[in-house]
Amino acid sequence: MSNKIVTVPKARALWLMLATLVIAGIVFVGWGPCAPGDGLLLTEYDGDRDYKQIIELFNKEKYWLTGDPDSPVEETFTHLAPRRGPQYHGQLKVKVLRKEDDLVGFVSHYMEDADTGFILYLAIDRNYRGRRLADRLMRIAVNDLLSLGARRIKLITRPTNVSAQAVYNRIGFRELGRDAVYVYYEYLP
């Protein structure tokens, strides 16, 4: 066996590195296909295409997604507002995971202030669970919030939502505390 070093011209090496980064960005960061061969596509929220299916999924999973039975979900996704009031319109970012015409899941997040991101909703259709798709969406939300300047990211869930807690723990969130209604999590990069 030879220990011969193979050299690659600098321009070609740069193109190879760039192509590798682009492919890694598509597969791992979240644009385009999520993984080769799984048929899933991650996109930005499009109200005309996604609104109705997100509202349906939200209403099916409402207990897990909000503690407020009067949650203004329609307002949230019409105005992309994490809270009630026109001052919040346009602040919510939503990533949607689709397989052809089917909504597979979504994640929504926003910046609470200059240093703090908040993951508001994460939902996966029951027909697509058990494939670690929630992990993918969480990583995408975390990366988005970090790119917006978040130095910490928060979220809450119910104490009985052990599946979601497992996802958050795998991603690197740590539990800050809990009460009778919620478990509070934080991610520090």
182 contacts 158 by C-beta, under 8 angstroms: yes
- For the chain, the distance separating the N- and C-terminal CA atoms, rounded to the nearest angstrom, is 44
Q: Return the pLDDT at 39.
A: 86
Element (H, E) at 44: strand 41-44
119 contacts 141 by C-beta, under 8 angstroms: yes
- Distance (Å, whole) CA 25 – CA 30: 7
The residue type found at 82 is P
Residues of the chain falling short of pLDDT 50:
1-3, 5-8, 11-33
- Distance (Å, whole) CA 134 – CA 106: 9
What's the pLDDT tens digit per position in 7-37?
A: 445 544 444 444 444 433 433 444 444 555 6
Taking the CB of residue 39, how many other CB atoms lie within 10 A of it?
13
Q: Return the pLDDT at 17.
A: 44
Q: Return the pLDDT at 36.
A: 52
Cα 143–chain centre separation: 9
45 contacts 96 by C-beta, under 8 angstroms: yes
In this structure, the dihedral spanned by the alpha carbons of residues 84, 75, 111 and 47, taken in order and rounded to 10 degrees, is -170
Q: Return the pLDDT at 68.
A: 80
Burial state string for 151-160 with b = 16 or more CB within 10 A and e = fewer than 16:
eebbbbbbee
